[in-house]
Amino acid sequence: MQENIVLTEAAYYILLSLYTPQHGYGIMQRAEALSGGRVRLAAGTLYGALNSMCEKDWIIPLPVENGDRKKNYRLTEKGLQILKNELERLRHMVAEGDGVLKEEL
pLDDT tens across 38-74, in order? 999 999 999 999 999 999 999 999 988 777 778 999 9
Between CA 50 and CA 41 the distance in angstroms is: 12
pTM summary value: 0.89
Residue ranges and CATH numbers for the domains of the chain are 9-101 (1.10.10.10)
Q: What is the pLDDT of residues 69-97, one digit of tens each?
A: 789 999 999 999 999 999 999 999 999 99
Rg for the chain, CA atoms, rounded: 16
Between CA 89 and CA 95 the distance in angstroms is: 10
Between CA 2 and CA 36 the distance in angstroms is: 30
Q: Which run of H or E residues covers position 66?
A: none
Between CA 32 and CA 65 the distance in angstroms is: 27
